Structure 1
Amino acid sequence: MLLFSSLAKSIFHTNTFSCIAIRNSRIFSFTTATNGFPSTSSISTNPFTIIKSHKHILFHYLNNRTLDQARAFFDQIPSPHVSLYTIMLHAYASNHRLHEAIHLFRQIPFKDVVSWNSMIKGCLHCGDIVTARKLFDEMPHRTVVSWTTLVDGLLRLGVVEEAEALFWAMDPMDRDVAAWNAMIHGYCGNGRVDDALRLFRQMPSKDVISWSSIINGLDHNGESEQALVVFRDMVASGVCPSSVGLVCGLSAAAKILAFHVGIQIHCSALKLGDWRFDEFVSASLVTFYSCCKQMESACWVFCEALCKNVVVWTALLTGYGFNDKHLEALEVFREMMRIGVIPNESSFTSALNSCCGLEDLERGKVIHAEVVKMGLESGGYVGGSLVVMYSKCGYVSDAVSVFKGINEKSVVSWNTVIVGCAQHGCGMWVLAFFNQMLRQRVDPDGITLTGLLSACSRSGMLQKARCIFRYFGQERSVTLTIEHYASMVDVLGRCGELEEAEALVMSMPMKANLMVWLALLSACRKHSNLDVAERAANRIFEMEPDCSAAYVLLSNLYASSSRWAEVALIRKKMKHNGIVKQPGSSWLTLKGQKHKFLSADRSHPLTGKIYQKLEWLGVKLKELGYVPDEQFALHDVETEQKEEMLSYHSERLAIAFALLSTVEGSTITVMKNLRVCGDCHSAIKLMSHIVDREIVVRDSSRFHHFKNGICSCGDYW
């Protein structure tokens, strides 16, 4: 039942249908009773009551998103008050029906300044700067609100110079603090923080909004340290910070890990009043302590908060994830769902990020189901997180399916699917998405280029990589960084073009860093090029004498060439310098529990059955003609020992355990911290054929999908 307090009369009733009609400035209620005979009763003759009643009815239609019905009712009103026109103008502009708003505006017999301002604001909301400026120039009388509305709108649309000219064209006597605040906010919103700070210092008088605006603007533009300086100035000048100011100060302290400053802001919040009633201050405190790795303090703040809405819950959830406490994060998410706190997009994104951290597909699917129930799957924010989750858990087809369902795809959305497909070596998919991205006029950025080069590297598409690198080098909107050069070196190196890769390193416009030389050294390991490898290794040791990755790559290269004297020398040097090689490990997650294996590991409770399964697989492998590749046994031992060492690599133990612990026919997904060796790669291909199951292995380079004796990488990785 819909009630209007001014009418004290039901519009809709179980047994009667009522409507409102206007005749000779009087409101009548026409009621069709249950006997079918109409009756009328006069309600009011007060014009203010009439206008108020009309507003109630218009707002009822508009709140229920029935704009056309609202217009139909409006058209029945004889001589509508100008305030009713203004309501309709705002509704049309909010729905981007600007042409109808302008047509209606021209029909207003007596326009007041509010209707003029509303129409100007509507034009700016719809991006029509020309009409907004034309209306402003036509105004018979402008107030400071008129000037500020136009200035603020122009700044929001990025027309900074015109906004500046208008601001300074205002009568200085009319230029109030709201106008100054609008300019400061607009400067910050357009990245012109120096101009914002200069204008802030020129202000004849400042209110708490002025201080909060400049602090927030500096923080959002990467000037968090300066933001805290301004915050201290605000307190020193005797201005009592609002809750917004406290939130801005805490945000800046969190970003630069200014722990002691954040503590001082927390103390200020305690002095100013009971912060526990303000959910945004509570959430900011939780975030601040989480960023400073003080989760106990974050939990204390959360428990003390008296208003725990979704913002506060999400702050705690995100904080746990930020501190790699993903199980605790998902427990927070489960608890907020249990007590009826409805998650928002940030909540779902943080929960899905924790699923990625745990590589827990099952939990991710449960959260995906909740996302679908709330209708958020097609949003770019949550949709992108789902794409990342499925990609990182080994299910690239599901990631692509989710991506296709996203309604408005930003450059972030496109980058997410491009990078995800690149991790799986789906080079042709990546190029197809890039072409679609360009056709839809979405401008690529540096992350797009990194994803494209990564895909070319993992798919062996050398010529495509050269064209893409050249194309982006000519694009002024994208600046080539050292990460891009490292990616291109990786492409050339993996494709065997080691001399060209080395030449690119030497001709770079910036000095090559560790990442670039390691990319070249890794390629030398793949193609057994000792000359280039030794030059690259020497460059690395000049920059970082104790780089364990370089020692290991060079040692493995010598070992694969049976140069055991050099291997012994490198290992002796590593031992002398205390350099420890990262041990190879593999793991998988089953029913929320992570199972980790090292090479020749015998610590697992099912060790006996795991080794029995490996022996059975070994027999089957030999029946199919498998012969161990001894060049991947990187120790100078007897042949029999080399075969045994290869047979018990960590990924094989993980696969054997998965065969024992999962449903027959299901996909096995194993993660590995190092690059899978060539011998294991050959063996796992055959294993997928023997057990008739898909085996997905993610190593440090990419995802491998083994099925029916074939790997998705085409033996190129």
Structure 2
Amino acid sequence: MGDNVKYCTKAMSHSYRTLLSNHLKNQRLDQARVIFDEIPSPDVHLCTMMIAVYAKNDRLTDAFMLFERMADRDIISWNSMIKGCLECGDLTLARRLFDEMPERNVVSWTTMVNGYLKFGIVDVAETLFWNMPARDVAAWNAMIYGYCRNGRVEKGLKLFEKMPCRNVISWTSMIGGLDQNGMSEKSLFLFGKMMGSGVEPTSSTFACVLTACANAIDFNLGVQVHGHVLKLGYCFGEFISASLITFYSNCKEVKKAHQVFNETLSKNVVIWTALLTGYDLNCKHGDALRVFSDMIKMGFLPNQSTFTSAFNSCRGLESLDKGKEIHTVVIKLGLEADVFVGNSLMVMYSECGNVNDAVAVFKTINEKNTVSWNSIIVGCSQHGHGIWALILFNKMIRACVDPDEITFTGLLSACSHSGMLQKGRCLFEYISQYKPIALKLQHYACMVDILGRNGKLEEAEELIKNMPMKANSMIWLSLLSSCRMHSNLEVAERAATSTFDLEPYCSAAYVLLSNLYASAGRWTDVSRMRVKMKQVGVVKQPGSSWVVLKGMRHEFISGDRSHPLSEKIIEKLDWLGEKLKQFGYFPDQRFALHDVDDEQKEEMLSYHSERLAIGFALVSTVEGSTITVMKNLRICGDCHFVIKLISKIAGREIVVRDNSRFHHFRNGICSCGDYW
């Protein structure tokens, strides 16, 4: 009779355990707790199992209450509870439990070391590590990994060299750590030492090495590693496949990257994203977006990295329509508030000409970081909304987000594009006294631009001469461009000479000076400059403008009549020409930079590339829709005036991005306030 009772009790206990285990495996925690509470005397193993699963599901309160109820706690249950606290982000409770432990083992110490490293509190982790009564290889590995993860790779390397005994995890952590901290060549050197030491690499090791080969662009070694991977049968692992795709993409072998993708039997979001990013990296943006589309069709949900690369490809194609289409996918997945997705989406909208949508996206991001604030400040700057940029900067400071050098570059650029001389001066002075950041070359370049655009050419020249670092050609070129705006030949010639001293083959400097001579009617000097350009082999970059429509780029150069719709385009421009005259337009021949008669000058101005692009958009898009034109050079003054009038005549918003900023033309007014 007694044996039967024992047997029944044992059978019932086994049944409870099986049922409990099944519920926990399938994340049915509440049902599991009901079963757990029915067990008369749950042992320490069952309690520990429940605690661990509670913690993994971010139910720390339930885990801790159960832990407090335990009559018999062993060292495993203490370690599980501490680990659970750390997984749920409660470092304080984890440390309290660690201090209360009746006895600790190496796992207890290593868990706490890992916890402090996870939160970036390296000094405390370091103290705990050296206070450990005994250290096994896992403890050494944890500290090395933590050093590298927190950017203290040199300390990690010193600790690695001190290790009494290393295993493959030690080598892999150090190889990966060096690579992640920008020391890819050292990483590959260490891999060579590892192979010489007789330690057998794992698939994780090979994945780290291939990533290092990708970053170091070491094609030969990467191909050798690929051979080893094939021999050892690791080629089917997701991290290996993704690393191989990244490696070949970085080495500009995108066909081989696609081949690896095709040969990967079990694809997941990481592998799809690696291929998409590879195409994006190689400027094959159309292919990248096709990969994104195929990925969605195959039922793979994009992650943050996928969206970042996809939006980058939309920027590369300047395809606002495609960007909006992918934005709908973001909304469907509920990721519109995600900071990484939001940041890339903001940049896409800004660079494709729609700053208002960029601002709307910025507002939806829950936890904005420095990149978020910088992206929207730079976006507002590019679109001429200088006041917006300054208001956002004040909000950034109130939100206790520290600005960096990109923030200040964006703000100074905003002052430049909006003609805010005094605000620019005050900001430059503020940066010079802001101790966390030293004034960099780009900040001086912006200040030179602010002064130059406001006609303070001598002051700008003096600032360049008194800079604490040597000016580069771009700074002198900025001054030269301002001289072109204000027709100051004296300063222009000095700026051009300084530019040529630094960059003898700078085509932009030759063109700017030549154009300045042409505007002044000094045709002999124009001829002299053109002869000199031929002698040194400098070729002027032809001006071109383009419109992206339904994924296709339609590009135009001045006077070009090769487009299939050329006849309709010219007809539309001629019609506009008549309307322009009714508005009192008369061509400004200072911008026809050739020594020809007035009639030819007028015709040359009429068919500048941006006007051809606008003519194409007018005959190819629906009435009332926004026209967006991209241009590789600065928009000329005559075209700027004409496009203002066209926006009024056609009743359209026309967005033109030239080589420095966006212009939004609405109802005869430009967002730049005629200052660019």
Taking structure 1 as the reference length, what is the TM-score of the superposition? Answer: 0.89
Q: Indicate the SS of the match to 2:629.
A: strand
Q: Is 2:638 the counterpart of 1:679?
A: yes
Aligned to 2:628: 669
Structure 1 stretch 409-418 or stretch 614-623: which is displaced more? 409-418
Which of 689, 696, 699 in structure 1 is aligned with 2:655? 696
Q: In 2 relative to 1, CA 613–71 (structure 1 residues): closer, same or farther, beyond 3 Å?
A: same
- Asked if the contact 2:544–2:556 (Cα under 8 Å) also holds between the matched residues in 1, the reply is yes
Which of 613, 619, 623 in structure 1 is aligned with 2:582? 623
Q: Indicate the SS of the match to 2:524.
A: helix
Q: Indicate the SS of the match to 1:597.
A: strand
- Asked if the contact 2:16–2:35 (Cα under 8 Å) also holds between the matched residues in 1, the reply is no
Aligned to 1:269: 229
Q: Matches of 1:588 and 1:514 in 2, distance apart?
A: 31
Output one character per residue of 1:378-402: Cα deviation in whole Å (capped at 9) or x when no partner: 2112222221221111111111112
Q: In 2 relative to 1, CA 184–487 (structure 1 residues): closer, same or farther, beyond 3 Å?
A: same
- Asked if the contact 2:336–2:364 (Cα under 8 Å) also holds between the matched residues in 1, the reply is yes
1:234-253 matched pairs, under 5 angstroms: 234-253=194-213
Output one character per residue of 1:312-352: Cα deviation in whole Å (capped at 9) or x when no partner: 22211111111111111122222222233332222222222
Give the Å deviation of 1:160.
1.9
Q: Indicate the SS of the match to 2:542.
A: coil
Q: Indicate the SS of the match to 2:243.
A: helix
Which of 168, 180, 201 in structure 1 is aligned with 2:130? 168
Aligned to 1:639: 598
User: Identity of counterpart residues, as a percentage?
Assistant: 62
Output one character per residue of 1:679-701: Cα deviation in whole Å (capped at 9) or x when no partner: 00000000011111111111111
Aligned to 2:413: 454
1:239-638 matched pairs, under 5 angstroms: 239-275=199-235, 277-638=236-597
- Asked if the contact 1:449–1:484 (Cα under 8 Å) also holds between the matched residues in 2, the reply is yes
Residue 142 of structure 1 aligns with an amino acid whose one-letter code is R
Q: In 2 relative to 1, CA 133–342 (structure 1 residues): closer, same or farther, beyond 3 Å?
A: closer
Q: Matches of 1:73 and 1:378 in 2, distance apart?
A: 39
Q: Matches of 1:566 and 1:535 in 2, distance apart?
A: 15
Q: Indicate the SS of the match to 1:356.
A: helix
Q: In 2 relative to 1, CA 391–225 (structure 1 residues): closer, same or farther, beyond 3 Å?
A: same
Aligned to 1:50: 16
Q: Is 2:110 the counterpart of 1:144?
A: no
Q: Indicate the SS of the match to 1:318.
A: helix
Which of 659, 662, 669 in structure 1 is aligned with 2:618? 659
Q: How many residues in Structure 1 have an aligned counterpart in Structure 2?
A: 670
- Asked if the contact 1:251–1:288 (Cα under 8 Å) also holds between the matched residues in 2, the reply is yes
Q: In 2 relative to 1, CA 450–186 (structure 1 residues): closer, same or farther, beyond 3 Å?
A: same
Output one character per residue of 1:491-534: Cα deviation in whole Å (capped at 9) or x when no partner: 22222222332222222222111222222222222222222222
Q: Indicate the SS of the match to 2:659.
A: coil
Q: Is 2:144 the counterpart of 1:184?
A: yes
Aligned to 1:9: none
Output one character per residue of 1:288-311: Cα deviation in whole Å (capped at 9) or x when no partner: 111111122212222222222222
Which of 165, 178, 181 in structure 2 is aligned with 1:218? 178
Taking structure 2 as the reference length, what is the TM-score of the superposition? Answer: 0.94
- Asked if the contact 2:451–2:457 (Cα under 8 Å) also holds between the matched residues in 1, the reply is yes
Aligned to 1:207: 167
Residue 392 of structure 2 aligns with an amino acid whose one-letter code is F
Q: Indicate the SS of the match to 2:630.
A: strand
Q: In 2 relative to 1, CA 340–103 (structure 1 residues): closer, same or farther, beyond 3 Å?
A: closer
Give the root-mean-square deviation of aligned CA atoms.
2.4
Q: Matches of 1:130 and 1:418 in 2, distance apart?
A: 37
Structure 1 stretch 530-539 or stretch 613-622: which is displaced more? 530-539
Residue 497 of structure 1 aligns with an amino acid whose one-letter code is K
Residue 252 of structure 1 aligns with an amino acid whose one-letter code is A
Q: In 2 relative to 1, CA 58–244 (structure 1 residues): closer, same or farther, beyond 3 Å?
A: closer
Give the Å deviation of 1:221.
0.5
- Asked if the contact 2:477–2:499 (Cα under 8 Å) also holds between the matched residues in 1, the reply is yes
Give the Å deviation of 1:105.
4.0
Output one character per residue of 1:226-275: Cα deviation in whole Å (capped at 9) or x when no partner: 00101111122222221111111111111121111211211221222251
Output one character per residue of 1:82-113: Cα deviation in whole Å (capped at 9) or x when no partner: 44554565566567776776565444322221
Which of 97, 114, 121 in structure 2 is aligned with 1:159? 121
Residue 326 of structure 2 aligns with an amino acid whose one-letter code is I
Q: Matches of 2:81 and 2:429 in 1, distance apart?
A: 48
Q: Is 2:157 the counterpart of 1:197?
A: yes
Q: Matches of 2:15 and 2:669 in 1, distance apart?
A: 79
Q: Indicate the SS of the match to 2:622.
A: coil
- Asked if the contact 1:246–1:265 (Cα under 8 Å) also holds between the matched residues in 2, the reply is yes
Q: Is 2:195 the counterpart of 1:229?
A: no
Q: In 2 relative to 1, CA 239–413 (structure 1 residues): closer, same or farther, beyond 3 Å?
A: same
Q: In 2 relative to 1, CA 43–608 (structure 1 residues): closer, same or farther, beyond 3 Å?
A: farther
Any gaps of 5 or more consecutive residues in structure 1?
A: 1-25, 27-41
Output one character per residue of 1:67-87: Cα deviation in whole Å (capped at 9) or x when no partner: 7x8778877766554445545
Residue 197 of structure 2 aligns with an amino acid whose one-letter code is S
Output one character per residue of 1:591-629: Cα deviation in whole Å (capped at 9) or x when no partner: 111100000011111212211111111110010001111
Q: Indicate the SS of the match to 2:505.
A: coil
Output one character per residue of 1:617-673: Cα deviation in whole Å (capped at 9) or x when no partner: 111001000111111111222222211111110000011111111111111111100
- Asked if the contact 2:175–2:209 (Cα under 8 Å) also holds between the matched residues in 1, the reply is yes
Q: Indicate the SS of the match to 1:670.
A: strand
Aligned to 1:112: 74
Larger relative contact order, structure 1 or 2 (CA cutoff 8 Å, min sep 6) = 2
Q: Indicate the SS of the match to 1:704.
A: strand
- Asked if the contact 1:116–1:139 (Cα under 8 Å) also holds between the matched residues in 2, the reply is yes
Q: Matches of 1:89 and 1:434 in 2, distance apart?
A: 46
